[in-house]
Chain A
Amino acid sequence: MASSGLQRFLTLDRRWIFLLEAVVVVLALVGPFVVGVKITKPVSDFHRVIHQSDPAKPLLVAVDTPPAGLPELEPMVVAILRHAFSRSQPVILVSLQMEGVAISERILNRVTGEINDQVSRTGRGEPLVSGVDYALLGFRAGFSSVIISLGEEIRNVFPTDFYGTPLDTMPLFRNTHNYDDMAAAVDISWSSTPEAWVEYAGVTYGVPILVGCTAVSAPQYYAYLQTGQMAGLLGGLKGAAEYERITNNPGAAGRGMVAQFGVHALLVLAIVLGNVAFFLDRFMSSRRPSPSTGPTGTDNRGA
């Protein structure tokens, strides 16, 4: 009886696990739950580099992600933009991956729209203006060549912004020509572009490289953090949640961490129960007489 229960558990249809995960995520998102997020060193380093940079120098942000990377990377872009705009630091957005341009345009419009709405509502501060406080330059193919060319003259790669306005007519680019005129290069990426930024911008031009990446990619970049080739790292939703917290900008990532906690707890429980059931089943099987052996324990398969 117990053995058949164990067998049923061990052969449980995985769709039940999917359903449980979905239930946990929904409950975590709609419920009044909160989990604490501890700020780790890679994130505090990321924040420090931006926070201590000259606010007159623009921040170069490369949004290199397709829609599949958005759940982890969008909160990072939002938090970074809010942080930069809160200290009146201009932002230049580029994309080295073609889906990135539509995504960066949507996020930029959302963040600047929210800030400008707040300014018009409260009457405090100045509204953000394209070409002065930010610029969306769009996508260029061939990311290694683009990264190298940005170190020489930004106009060589992007003579105009995404909407066709020449950079020469924008106040933001009056004194901005290459990495020397920028505070840091931030790559928000779901692919291997951060390594290209380290190799071509970091090694060649010495600009601080800050990386926000999906959790899958994060482990491979710790080696670059340890050597200082990357000045800071936001890894996955957790990194985004930490950045939201350190900049005091609560957002989607912080709320997502509750669901992360719930699903992780569920998965750990499933792994533990699965292992216990597996070993218990093996133990019970070893105590049962095998159908292939006779009452004396001798092998009678050949009889």
Chain B
Amino acid sequence: MNISLDIWIWVAAIFTLFVYTFLYKDNPFYKLAEHVMVGLGAGYYTAVLYHNVIVEDFLVPFGVTLNKLALTPAEFQAYADTQGMTSLPPILEDFTPVVALVLLLIPVILGLLLFTRFIPKISWISRYSLAFILGANSGIAIPNALQARVISQLRGTFVQDHGALVVPLFSIDSWRDFFAAPGISTFFDAISGPLFIVGTLCTLAYFFFSLEHKGVLGGAARVGIWFLMIGFGASFGYTVMARVSLLIGRVHFLLFDWLGLPK
């Protein structure tokens, strides 16, 4: 056993134990750990966002552009060399300094307008920023989401790509393979495609509420429930694995990194 002498390992270990005391019952140690975590999280997020968004995405390029505007090319180069800067992001290099300044200021102004939400009399102004955000995001997201989540998934219900080869999910060849060499692997290869199609259709039938669930539709919906339940079971199994992994991670840390047990 070789107990760690690193103070931060000790801090992490003690806070891990504080959090796990909640499993016995709520107590001041758990509360302390909880509050420290919330405070640290808020501080970390603020620092990272300030540095990465306000400084790097606005203040630095804005300062560079202002200097580019005010100085001669030789003076600017000397300034850039002393500041350790080489250039603006390439996307701004294609524009004149004045246009680059305007391009940098537009998102800042739109961002600031969002704060008018706090002043009821002029809160309507924030809608311009929201309109821009919604419009831009929808324009970017809708075509790609439609392709990735609808069209490709719909295609995947009928065929499967094996490199350049496109194989239908209901493939006679896979059944021929199964009868040629009966076995669990070939059986599942043969049955998985049809099962996939039946599962998709029956699950969709369960969520089809425009007709009463009786007759063929009712039967398909009941089969769909089975597929859903199996899906939920698989998800639950994965969830258990994920939660147990968190415990394993912490116990691993306590045993090997903190207490220094031999691995």
Contacts and interface: CB of A to CB of B under 8 A. Distances in A.
B23 A256 contact: no
Given A148-B140, A166-B86, A252-B252, A72 B48 contact: no
Interface of B: 23-24, 44-45, 48-49, 52-53, 57, 84-91, 137, 140-141, 144-145, 147-149, 152-153, 155-156, 160-161, 196, 231, 234-235, 238-242, 244-252, 255-256, 261, 263
A185 to B, nearest CB: 14
Contacts of B156: 223, 226-228
Interface SS, A side: helix
A164 B84 contact: yes
Contact of B241 (A68, A148, A169, A260): A260
Given A227-B153, A227-B160, A259-B244, 7 more contacts: A25-B247, A140-B57, A145-B140, A169-B86, A198-B148, A200-B140, A236-B238
Given A25-B251, A227-B153, A229-B148, A18 B242 contact: no
Contact of A204 (B24, B144, B256): B144
A18 B90 CA distance: 55
A285 B13 CA distance: 48
Interface string A227-262: 111000001111000000000000010011001100
A26 B152 contact: no
A21 interface: yes
A153 interface: yes
Given A98-B49, A168-B86, A237-B245, A203 B251 contact: no
Contacts of B246: 68, 71-72
B140 A144 contact: yes
B251 A26 contact: yes
B115 to A, nearest CB: 18
Interface stretch (A55-63, A115-123, A213-221): A213-221
A124 interface: no
Interface centre among A144, A214, A238 (most CB of B within 10 A): A214
A226 B197 CA distance: 12
